[in-house]
Amino acid sequence: MILYSWNVNGLRAVVQKGFWDWLAASGADVAGLQETKIQPGHEADFGHTEAYRAVWLSATAKKGYSGVGCFYKADPLAINRELPDAGFHGEGRLLHLEYPDFHFLNVYFPNGGRGPERLDYKLRFYDAFLTHAETLRQTKPIVACGDFNTAHTALDLKNAKANEKTSGFLPVERAWLDRFIAAGYVDTFRMFVTEGGHYSWWDYRFKARDRNVGWRIDYFFVSKELVPRVRRAWIASDVYGSDHCPVGLELDV
């Protein structure tokens, strides 16, 4: 089973840059998208393709903001939206597709860079997500993908020292990823690639992508029970259209 995750930074925009061709050629069984920026009620503009069905969770808190979606070939057993805590509803951040062998969680984690209140929201969202994942994990393993909005270690961004006080690389954010991993979730890319220099997001400014001055903030994590079934994990840095690139995971199922 081939799975993809991609922060498209506006689905309407990326559609004009070859998204449908990418999806058709990707071989994805499921593609989880983040930051779709679709307004509620406009999802039908994208609908289903011949090969894929689609499901959406768009933000109601404000227009043109956040939002997640999934294109999938095989119908899941169930589809759920949002975290259980209603305090986190409205920003369109989590889609849960249940498959026979695992729970697929497509998440767009909050950005903590807009002041202390948003950083607090991000950290509380992180904790609520881990609690939710652990509850689901009691029934079957977890695949969690998306834009986590945090680079885990100094290997995961170009300029670590300069960003130690920047949200996305704050000690408190990185400590949560430590706790997530300690709880039994495995960064699948790091199963195969241990060196730095591999990124999934580049600032649009300063030709950052041309110079590969980036951050690795998009991940596929699996609960450790699934590790023996991980065949490969990769960053598709040759795919353009967004300031992020897709990341992929292949599982034996």
Residue 94 pLDDT:
98
Residue 165 C-beta-side C-alpha neighbours within 13 Å: 1
Kindly give, in sequence order, each residue whose CB lies less than 8 Å from that of residue 203, ignoring residues fewer than 6 positions away: 213, 214, 243
Catalytic option among 4, 108, 126, 185: 108
Known active-site residue 244: yes
Q: Are strands 142-147 and 53-57 parallel, antiparallel or unpaired?
A: unpaired
Superfamily name with CATH number, domain 2-251: Endonuclease/exonuclease/phosphatase (3.60.10.10)
CA 157, CA 213: separation in Å to the nearest integer? 8
Q: Are strands 30-34 and 53-57 parallel, antiparallel or unpaired?
A: unpaired
Known active-site residue 42: no
CA 244, CA 231: separation in Å to the nearest integer? 23
Known active-site residue 203: no
35 is in an annotated binding site: yes
Residue 48 pLDDT:
75
Determine contact, residues 129/142, Cβ cutoff 8 Å. Answer: no
Strands of the chain, DSSP E: 2-7, 30-34, 53-57, 68-72, 78-81, 94-98, 103-108, 142-147, 185-187, 201-202, 214-215, 218-223, 230-235, 247-251
Domain ranges of the chain: 2-251
164 is in an annotated binding site: no
147 is in an annotated binding site: yes
Q: What is the tens place of the pLDDT at every residue in 201-239?
A: 999 999 999 999 999 999 999 999 999 999 999 999 999
159 is in an annotated binding site: no
Q: What is the tens place of the pLDDT at every residue in 95-141?
A: 999 999 999 999 999 999 989 999 999 999 999 999 999 999 999 99
80 is in an annotated binding site: no
Q: What is the tens place of the pLDDT at every residue in 12-29?
A: 999 999 999 999 999 999
Catalytic option among 96, 121, 132, 147: 147
